[in-house]
Structure 1
Amino acid sequence: EKQKPKRLSNLEYLGLDMIEAGGEFGQDGPYGSALIKVGQAQQKLGSCERDFIGSAGMCFIQPLKKFLDGEMKTITKEKGILESKRLDLDACKNRARKARSMIGQQTAERDLRVAQSEFDRQAEITKLLLEGISTTQATHLRHLHSLVEAQVRYYGQCNKIMSDLQRELVSMRPPTPRLRVNSEDIDLACGPPYLSKSQTLDSSQHYQQTITLHPACSSGRTKACSIASSSAPETFSIIDDSIIAALVAESDPNDVSVL
């Protein structure tokens, strides 16, 4: 018999779209290759999700549904019958209490005995069924533990997939230029103001930052370099990224510091 093809999860569909888009952008480019890797990770997450849903259904949902559709329905039905028997018994008690004639009282008492017997029998049936629930709780508890174990495996797999993806994306990231700020590294890709970890920029305060270049490059290449090649270190205000790029390009990186 031909098996019905499995329906992909939403994450798997997302992964397929990302992989397709990455191929169109070009897998040799940084964005295209990153899209492909993220798409592959989404497919793995979707597959793990499907496996978890299947495991949760088998180990917890199906046994619980079987109990609700079987034993619990029977218990609910018998409790309804017990309630009906109780109402019949109350009615018989009222008739016996209001009976006037001898014949009427005898008939009422006979009906009362029958109603009491039927109520007691139904109460015993309902009691036994309710007592059986306590014995099935141990089974349901095992199913609940199985559900938690399946969740632990699922989230552990998801965490590993995303951690591996994060490491891959970091390894693909192009290196960014860095400077030394007060003996600390800063990332120029963050844009101005260029602050080190020891500096903060308050909303009511603006830091005028400067870059100091020691004479480490040959003269006559750029205006910034020609100034930096004098006998003493020169300091320049940081205005935008172009100033940083020009100064760093013409200087020894080991001699660059931001004050």
Structure 2
Amino acid sequence: MDFNMKKLASDAGIFFTRAVQFTEEKFGQAEKTELDAHFENLLSRADSTKNWTEKILRQTEVLLQPNPSARVEEFLYEKLDRKVPSRVTNGELLAQYMAEAASELGPTTPYGKTLTKVAEAEKRLGAAERDFIHTASINFLTPLRNFLEGDWKTISKERRLLQNRRLDLDACKARLKKAKAAEAKATCEGDTVPDFQETRPRNYILSASASALWNDEVDKAEQELRVAQTEFDRQAEVTRLLLEGISSTHVNHLRCLHEFVESQTTYYAQCYRHMLDLQKQLGSSSLSTACLAWTLTGSSAREATRRARSRSPTWNCSAKKAPSQAPAHSGLGGRGWGDSPATCLSGTKLLRVGSLAPFCPCPR
């Protein structure tokens, strides 16, 4: 128990010393040990690598799984070390709906046959998408995630330790500087010859004793500085080696990027082949004829009927009135058309608007 209390008190003292040093550095009241330019470049490159790796990882996850709820669910499964359940892709779900629609609307009809063919193609697209997601997750996302959760955590830990070692080193430097200043002041006071008529001998003895104490304090501060400098140099070397390992990380990520592009190329090539086959099936002559016949029996049949009726030779509503024979249309009363309602050859009454000549409303 005593040992733990001593260790706790020692840790609290170290933490307080670091906090004081850090605060004084922020306010410009203490000197700070600067790292060399090469080391600073390594730190900057490591930070950039970490930031861009996070952005690329998040956006690739969005590309592979646009649904945010599904991404959160997969993240929880990974954190709980549980297997992520298989999920139906959008293409496979669309294929399922099309197949059910074809079964209910009639699989032997042209529309049902087309739905069946498209459903099979969408199912193959969904399977290709599933393979692409699986391959990209293993070959691309996993290495990026391993870097962030493994190597980068180690680098961050060593950087924090280096920061603490630097604060300890600068605190030792400040302590040694203050000790030397106090020693010099005590030495100056001790070198002065006392006037025993004005100064008591006891003050002179105390001054000499203080000078000896400050000499011991300087020796102790120098020893602590040497230890702190050694620990700082050792930690700086360890951190430097880890930061230089970022180059190998870039090489690994480059290889993973090539594999991701390869898998994406394979996926889109498969999609192109599947859609090309489907286009050939839908563009066949028998299917086109069936679709045309089905269209003509539907809403377009009315348009065909109207065109056929417009070409009928039995309609003749443009006959002119002749004096020697009955007119094709009886008059509407006035202007030589007679008093009885005018009709065409089919028996439909002619219409008259204002002073215009009567016209036949029959479809032509």
**Is TM > 0.5 for Structure 1 vs Structure 2?**
yes
Corresponding residue number in structure 1 for 2:62: none
Matched, 1:142 2:260: no
Q: Tell me, in whole angstroms, the C-alpha distance in 1 between the residues paired with 2:136 and 2:275.
A: 22
Corresponding residue for residue 122 of structure 2:
42
Aligned residue among 125, 145, 160 for 2:273: 160
Moved more, 133-142 or 3-12: 3-12
2:100 and 2:265 mapped to 1: Cα distance? 32
Q: CA deviation at 1:69?
A: 2.8
State how far apart, in whole Å, the 2-side matches of 1:116 and 1:4 are: 50
| Higher Rg of the two aligned structures | 2
Deviation (angstroms), 1:164: 2.2
**Structure 2 counterpart of 1:164, which letter?**
D
Q: Which residue of 2 aligns with 1:255?
A: none
1:77 aligns with 2:157: yes
Which residue number corresponds to residue 115 of structure 1?
A: 228
How far does residue 111 in structure 1 lie from its aligned partner after superposition? 1.4
Q: TM-score when scaled to structure 2?
A: 0.46
Match of 1:10 among 90, 94, 100: 90
SS at match of 1:226: coil
TM-score (norm 1): 0.64
Q: Which amino acid aligns with 2:129?
A: E
Compute the displacement of 1:64 (Å).
2.7
Superposed CA RMSD in Å reads 3.0
Structure 1 residue 149: deviation in Å? 0.4
Aligned to 2:246: 133
The reply to whether residue 56 of structure 1 matches residue 136 of structure 2 is yes
Q: Is 2:191 aligned against 1:104?
A: no
SS at match of 2:245: helix
Specify whether residues 4 and 64 from structure 1 end up closer, same or farther in structure 2 by C-alpha distance, changes over 3 A only. Answer: closer
Residues 56 and 223 (structure 1 numbering): CA distance in 2 closer, same or farther, change over 3 Å? closer
Q: Which moved more, 1:64-73 or 1:50-59?
A: 64-73
Cα distance change, pair 103–31 in 1 and its aligned pair in 2 (3 A): same
Aligned residue in 2 for 1:224: 311
Please say if 1:23 is aligned against 2:103: yes
Partner secondary structure for residue 311 of structure 2: helix
The separation in 2 between residues aligned to 1:80 and 1:49, in whole angstroms, is 43
User: Equivalent residues in 2 for 1:86-97 (5 A)?
Assistant: 86-97=166-177
Instruction: Report Cα offsets for 1:159-212 as digits up to 9, x if no partner.
Output: 2222222332333344769xxxxxxxxxxx8xx9xxxxxxxxxxxxxxxxxx9x
2:102 and 2:235 map into 1 onto residues whose CA distance is 69
1:223 deviation in Å?
Answer: 6.0
Flag as ranges the 4+ runs of structure 1 deviating above 3 A.
3-7, 173-177
Q: CA deviation at 1:24?
A: 0.7
Stretch deviating more after TM superposition (160-169 or 3-12): 3-12
**The structure with more helix, counted as a fraction of residues:** 2
Q: Distance in 2 between matches of 1:4 and 1:64?
A: 19
Q: Which has the higher strand share?
A: 1
**1:222–1:18 Cα change, 3 Å:** closer
Percent identity of the aligned residues? 48
Could you tell me which residue of structure 1 aligns to residue 29 of structure 2?
A: none
C-alpha distance in 2 between matches for 1:98 and 1:85: 20
Instruction: Map residues 202-213 of structure 1 onto 2, 5 A cutoff.
Output: none
Matching residue's letter, 2:172:
C
